[in-house]
Amino acid sequence: MSDTYVLEGQLRERVGKGAARELRRNKMVPAVIYGDKKDPVSVALPYKELSMQLHAGGFMTTVGTIKVGSEEHKVLAKDYQLEPVRDFIDHVDFLRISKNTVVTVEIPVTFLNDEECLGLKQGGILNVVRHTVEVNCPADSIPDGFTIDLLPFEIGDSINISTITLPEGVEPTITDRDFTVATIASPGGAAEEEDEGAPEAPETEVIGEEKEEEEGEE
């Protein structure tokens, strides 16, 4: 799991579009913390520190701590909105995490030894079907990424999810087949393949727990 982070937040007494605009003028970002069967908490976070975390990489798969007064909330970013023109952070949703929380996350896949791979040296082409793999895992044990060693693969080989040794407690959300992550395609036949059931977009969610929405801010 990526390194954790800590943000100092302020409790928001007012919500709504007007209050949110005022926060943004003061270089603060409205956010909400929800989940773990507790009431949602509306907070304001400093724009500079939040932006640094967002652009540091792994924001959606890194468990952090938000301090609000004497309280500390262990959280995982669920979603964020950006201004359409300037790409400034408009709002962030955080899941409140406990030791028993299980989440669904997209984990990036990387490949090693491409220069030594027999199939690629013979002229084959690495055809990546999935750049990320969706898994269920404990919120405090989210993998940074999955690595596949290309060394033993030849032209025509299919690299499936079974190739990846998953950490304890981490399971792919697709369980009905040994789905394809990549192939070593022959020259001239390397049009990108599609794997039926591949996730359309990265997402992080709590299993079995519905988001409590905060109205009037977006």
pLDDT in tens, 175-184: 999 999 999 9
Q: What is the pLDDT of residue 13?
A: 79
| 4 compared with 152, residue with greater pLDDT | 152
Q: β-strand 158-160 against 180-185: which pairing, if any? A: antiparallel
Q: What is the pLDDT of residue 204?
A: 47
What radius of gyration do the chain's Cα atoms show?
21
pLDDT interval class at 201 (50, 70, 90): very low
Residue 187 one-letter amino acid = P
Say if residue 195's pLDDT is above 60. Answer: no
Instruction: Write out pLDDT tens, residues 75-86.
Output: 999 999 998 888
Say if residue 142's pLDDT is above 50. Answer: yes
pTM, entire model: 0.71
Q: What is the pLDDT of residue 75?
A: 94
In three-state secondary structure terms, 49 is helix
Degrees (nearest 5) of the Cα angle 19, 68, 30?
25
201-205 long-range contacts, CB within 8 A, separation 24+ = 202/60, 202/106, 202/132, 203/104, 203/105, 203/106, 203/134, 204/60, 204/61, 204/76, 204/77, 204/78, 204/79, 204/95, 204/103, 204/104, 204/105, 204/106, 205/78, 205/103, 205/104
* CATH numbers and ranges of domains, the chain: 6-98 (2.40.240.10), 103-185 (2.170.120.20)
Instruction: Write out pLDDT tens, residues 145-170.
Output: 999 999 999 999 999 999 999 999 99
Closest C-alpha to 75, from 51, 47, 48, 53 = 53
Q: What is the pLDDT of residue 52?
A: 93
| 42 compared with 191, residue with greater pLDDT | 42
Say if residue 19's pLDDT is above 70. Answer: yes
